[in-house]
Amino acid sequence: MQITNLLKKPKSPYVYICGAGPGDPLLLTLKTHHLLTHIADIVVYDRLIPEAIIDLIPDDVPKIYAGKSCRNHHMTQDEINQCLVEQAASGKVVVRLKGGDPFIFGRGGEEMLHLVQNNIPYEVVPGVNAADGCAAYADIPLTHRGISRQVVFLTGHQQKGSHSPIDYASLAKPDQTLVIFMGVTQLEAIITNLLGEGMDQDTPCAAISGGTTESEILFVAPLKNFYQEVLAQELPAPTLIIIGQVVSLSDKVKQLCEQKNHSSNA
């Protein structure tokens, strides 16, 4: 039996909230691939979905662009929520395609709740999130025995009107990895607070722009001057920030590979 035979088209109305992964089209899951190519009656997709994934969708399947970037929303989240309900209620099986994973700073939970409130059946299909994907492609293990035993995901964006304090004391621990999504605009304040809570100023940090894609840029610097150097790089969005001793393993891998290449060519 082919694995795709396990997935049958549901009766409409129905919405699949799918993660498309962090950028490399080959990280798309088999399930989401099959939903796009054989199941969807309509696809509502985000700004960061690669063209190669959009091209998978049959020409006769309508596509609705629902892109959002900082202070520039083609559709607001409320409009996206309502669009999903209206399209599904009109008798369609909708694939809502989101970058990364829908439940990791992807607002997939808000869309799910809106569907439930409007009696629209749904399913959430996870995707490779940006933290896992970008770190792996940059040779940065988020955990490593003897170096980091826990990972904390943070967002650099706070909900408008929110003043919830961040517990920087708990974030400044030396044996953990911090991964900051959408964090460049708040990076100066984050670093200032981490240093204020005693984090080692030489803690290695990485900024990954366009992670997992051909345009990927990896920039590494110590915490003490990381913000200024990131600004100088003018990295295009989206940029993921990783802070922790595990970042140093990326350079170690590079050095070991160079040593091996040198030895084999000697």
pLDDT of 6: 78
46 is catalytic: yes
- Of 68, 139, 200, 224, the active-site residue reads 68
Rounded distance between C-alpha atoms, residue 258 and residue 189, angstroms: 37
For residue 52, being part of any structural domain is answered with yes
For residue 3, being part of any structural domain is answered with no
Q: Which of 15, 186, 39 is nearest to 102 (CA)?
A: 15
111 with 145, same domain?
no
DSSP code of 185? T
Output the pTM of the full model. Answer: 0.91
76 with 151, same domain?
no
For residue 193, being part of any structural domain is answered with yes
Q: Which of 211, 201, 209, 208 is nearest to 27 (CA)?
A: 211
159 with 235, same domain?
yes
Domain at 48, CATH number: 3.40.1010.10
Whole-angstrom CA distances from 254 to 74, 143, 229, 244, 261 are 41, 18, 21, 18, 11
For residue 257, being part of any structural domain is answered with no
For residue 118, being part of any structural domain is answered with yes
pLDDT of 4: 65
Domain boundary among 76, 99, 128: 128
Domain boundary among 80, 112, 128: 128
Radius of gyration of the chain (CA): 21
47 with 155, same domain?
no
Domain boundary among 77, 105, 128: 128
Rounded distance between C-alpha atoms, residue 133 and residue 135, angstroms: 6
148 with 97, same domain?
no
150 with 37, same domain?
no
178 with 190, same domain?
yes
In what order do the strands lie in the sheet containing 42-45?
A: 63-65, 42-45, 93-98, 14-19, 122-125
136 with 121, same domain?
no
Instruction: Using CB atoms within 10 Å of the CB of residue 187, give its burial: 0 to 12 exposed, 13 to 18 middle, 19+ buried.
Output: buried
Number of domains in the chain: 2
For residue 242, being part of any structural domain is answered with yes
- Of 24, 41, 46, 101, the active-site residue reads 46
Q: Which of 57, 2, 55, 52 is nearest to 27 (CA)?
A: 52
For residue 102, being part of any structural domain is answered with yes
138 with 209, same domain?
yes
Query: What is the largest distance, in Å, between two alpha-carbon atoms of the chain?
Result: 68
- Token code pair at residue 4: 């795709």
Domain range spanning residue 30?
Answer: 8-128
Rounded distance between C-alpha atoms, residue 243 and residue 205, angstroms: 4
111 with 144, same domain?
no
30 with 110, same domain?
yes
152 with 239, same domain?
yes
Q: What is the pLDDT along the chain (266 residues), one digit of tens a residue?
A: 576 677 899 999 999 999 999 999 999 999 999 999 999 999 999 999 999 999 999 999 999 999 866 555 579 999 999 999 999 999 999 999 999 999 999 999 999 999 999 999 999 999 999 999 999 999 999 999 999 999 999 998 765 555 668 899 999 999 999 999 999 999 999 999 999 999 999 999 999 999 999 999 999 999 999 999 999 999 998 899 999 999 999 888 777 777 777 666 66
For residue 260, being part of any structural domain is answered with no
Domain at 189, CATH number: 3.30.950.10
68 is catalytic: yes
